[in-house]
């Protein structure tokens, strides 16, 4: 029932994404444009700009929501997400370094660099969190924070060293789904699907992992394998999202926390809930960014950061208690 309500809310949000922007378009015109019956400037705006933007928002939001849920489950850390673990910062730094060194200009060219940066950042955060052979969730959060600060400073240094890199990367680093075309998303779909399959495959084992490594092993759960598969899923999902839209903060952190009070802690329900809540949050933030600064826009990454910072403070205070 709750999942059905979430799907209905997501459909409504997608409709608003198609209808609202620097100028509002009547819903009847949107429907005509989608069915091919509409013609003219408004129909062209819907089909040429807002449909790709909305579809990409749905895909990226789903990827970030699921990635955050798996990251929290694998690490047993309620503050874990692609942002707090340094994964987004690693992918962002790798892409900016590639722009600086090779003059890349298209998101599809960023793909492998985004994946490599995300993977290396995840491994580094995991290595810093080890204590006596066990995963320490507190050290993981601290290591991810330190990693994010270091990589962000390196990214800024590269951008300041090259005006071309600054011009190419500054809007991408803000995190945006505006101006993206579907041909940017299509090559990434296999990686997104593979990441989602891996995430849902480890969902039952994440429930056991929440009991601790020893308890999970006593239940026959291959802890190392689950962490590897879960980690790879997070890297695939977060790396794809960063390659398309830039580093968008807090969607992966917020989605599972909004779902838990409604669906509980069972990852077999958490993951579908986050799959719906992630794009719902992203599209809602994108629509808000279009409306508050008309006729201009605020990038969705800035909106999610502005709204997510208080959430992170509340969650950190709750965890500390």
- 82-104 tens-digit pLDDT: 887 888 889 889 989 998 998 88
Task: Note whether 146 and 90 are within 8 A (CB).
Answer: no
* Sign of the CA dihedral running 74, 75, 80, 86: negative
Mean pLDDT value of segment 254-279 = 91
What CATH code is carried by the domain that includes residue 192? 1.10.3470.10
Residue 110 has pLDDT above 80, yes or no: no
* Confidence category of residue 319, pLDDT binned at 50, 70, 90: low
Tell me which of 135 and 80 has the higher pLDDT.
80
C-beta of residue 18 within 8 angstroms of C-beta of residue 54: yes
Please give the pLDDT value at position 316: 61
H/E element holding 301? helix 300-320
Distance CA 60, CA 62 (A): 5
The percent of residues above 70 in pLDDT, for the chain, comes to 94
Question: Is 315's pLDDT higher than 70?
Answer: no
Q: How far is CA 22 from CA 12, 85, 285, in A?
A: 19, 35, 15
What's the average model confidence in pLDDT over 279-283?
94
Average pLDDT, the chain: 85
| Cross-strand partners of 135 | 130
The residue-averaged pLDDT of 290-316 equals: 80
Greater pLDDT, 77 or 316: 77
Percent of the chain exceeding pLDDT 90 equals 26
How many structural domains comprise the chain? 1
The pLDDT value recorded for residue 69 is 94
Tell me the C-alpha distance between 177 and 282, whole Å: 10
**Preceding amide of 65 cis, omega within 30:** no
C-beta separation of 276 from 282 below 8 A:
no
At 130, is the secondary structure helix, strand, or coil? strand
Residue 169 vs residue 236, higher pLDDT: 236
- Mean pLDDT over residues 32-60, rounded? 83
What's the domain range around 189? 2-320
pTM attached to this predicted model:
0.89
Least confident residue range of 15-29, 182-196, 238-252: 15-29
Radius of gyration of the chain (CA): 19
What are the angstrom distances between the C-alpha of 91 and each of 109, 140, 248, 294?
A: 13, 18, 11, 31
Answer whether residue 59 shows pLDDT above 80.
Answer: yes
The tens digit of pLDDT for each residue in 230-257 reads 988 998 998 889 888 888 888 988 899 8
Mean pLDDT of 159-177: 82
């Amino acid at each position: 029932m709750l999942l059905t309500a979430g799907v209905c809310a997501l459909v409504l949000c997608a409709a608003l994404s198609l209808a609202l922007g620097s100028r509002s378009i009547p819903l009847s015109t949107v429907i005509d444009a989608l069915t091919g019956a509409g013609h003219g400037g408004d129909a062209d705006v819907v089909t040429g700009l807002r449909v790709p933007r909305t579809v990409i928002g749905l895909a990226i939001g789903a990827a970030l929501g699921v990635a955050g849920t798996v990251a929290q489950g694998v690490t047993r850390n309620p503050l874990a997400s692609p942002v707090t673990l340094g994964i987004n910062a690693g992918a962002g730094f790798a892409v900016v370094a590639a722009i600086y060194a090779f003059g890349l200009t298209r998101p599809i060219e960023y793909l492998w660099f985004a994946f490599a940066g995300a993977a290396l950042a995840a491994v580094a955060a995991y290595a810093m969190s080890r204590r006596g052979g066990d995963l320490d969730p507190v050290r993981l959060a601290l290591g991810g924070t330190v990693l994010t600060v270091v990589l962000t400073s390196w990214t800024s240094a590269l951008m300041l060293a090259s005006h071309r890199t600054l011009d190419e990367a500054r809007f991408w680093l803000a995190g945006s789904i505006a101006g993206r075309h579907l041909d940017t998303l299509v090559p990434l779909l296999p990686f997104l699907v593979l990441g989602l399959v891996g995430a849902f495959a480890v969902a039952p084992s994440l429930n056991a992992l929440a009991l601790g490594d020893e308890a999970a092993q006593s239940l026959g759960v291959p802890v190392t394998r689950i962490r590897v598969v879960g980690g790879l899923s997070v890297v695939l999902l977060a790396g794809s999202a960063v390659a398309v839209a830039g580093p968008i903060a807090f969607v992966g952190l917020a989605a599972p926390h909004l779902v838990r009070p409604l669906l509980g802690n069972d990852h077999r329900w958490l993951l579908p809930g986050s799959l719906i809540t992630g794009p719902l949050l992203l599209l809602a933030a994108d629509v808000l960014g279009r409306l508050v600064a008309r006729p201009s826009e605020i990038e969705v990454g800035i909106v999610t950061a502005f709204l997510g910072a208080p959430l992170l403070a509340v969650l950190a205070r709750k965890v500390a208690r």
